[in-house]
Structure 1
Amino acid sequence: MDLDEITTIIYQPKNDHEPGFIYLMEAEGYHGLIPGCYLRRCKIGLSRNPEARLDNFHRNQPPCNVKILKTIYVEDMADVEGELHQQFSQCNVELIKSQEWFDFNPVQFMIVNWEFEKRSLHVFSISDLPIKLIIFSMIGLVGVGTVAGRLTSQSPMQPQKQLAK
Structure 2
Amino acid sequence: MESRYLTNEYQARNDHEPGYIYLMEAEGYHGLIPGCYLRRCKIGLSRNPQLRLENFHSNQPPCNIKILTTVYVQDMAEVETQLHQQFKKCQVKGLAKSREWFDFNPLQMPMVRYAIAKHDIHIFTFSELPFKLILLCLLGLLSVGVIAGRLTTQPVTPLQEKLKVN
The answer to whether the superposition gives a TM-score over 0.5 is yes
Deviations 1:42-83 (A, max 9, x none): 000000000000001111112210000000001110000000
Residues 1:118 and 2:146 aligned together = no
Amino acid of the residue matched to residue 48 of structure 2?
N
2:126 and 2:114 map into 1 onto residues whose CA distance is: 25
2:133 and 2:28 map into 1 onto residues whose CA distance is: 41
1:71-90 alignment to 2 at 5 Å? Answer: 71-90=70-89
1:96 and 1:81 map into 2 onto residues whose CA distance is: 19
Match of 1:43 in 2: 42
Match of 1:12 in 2: 11
Match of 1:27 in 2: 26
Aligned residues with identical type, % of pairs? 65
1:52-131 alignment to 2 at 5 Å? Answer: 52-94=51-93, 95-131=95-131
Amino acid of the residue matched to residue 65 of structure 2?
V
Deviations 1:124-154 (A, max 9, x none): 23431223566796xx9xxxxxxxxxxxxxx
Partner-residue secondary structure (3-state), 2:20: strand
Which runs of no fewer than 5 residues in structure 2 stay unpaired? 142-166
1:109 and 1:35 map into 2 onto residues whose CA distance is: 18
Partner-residue secondary structure (3-state), 1:119: coil
TM-score (normalizing by structure 1): 0.73
1:58 and 1:7 map into 2 onto residues whose CA distance is: 33
Change (3 A) 1:41 1:130: same
Between 70-79 and 11-20, the greater mean CA deviation after superposition: 11-20
Name the count of aligned residue pairs: 133
1:64 and 1:12 map into 2 onto residues whose CA distance is: 34
2:134 and 2:30 map into 1 onto residues whose CA distance is: 46
1:68 and 1:39 map into 2 onto residues whose CA distance is: 17
1:93 and 1:53 map into 2 onto residues whose CA distance is: 20
Partner-residue secondary structure (3-state), 1:98: coil
Which runs of no fewer than 5 residues in structure 1 stay unpaired? 141-165
Partner-residue secondary structure (3-state), 2:118: helix
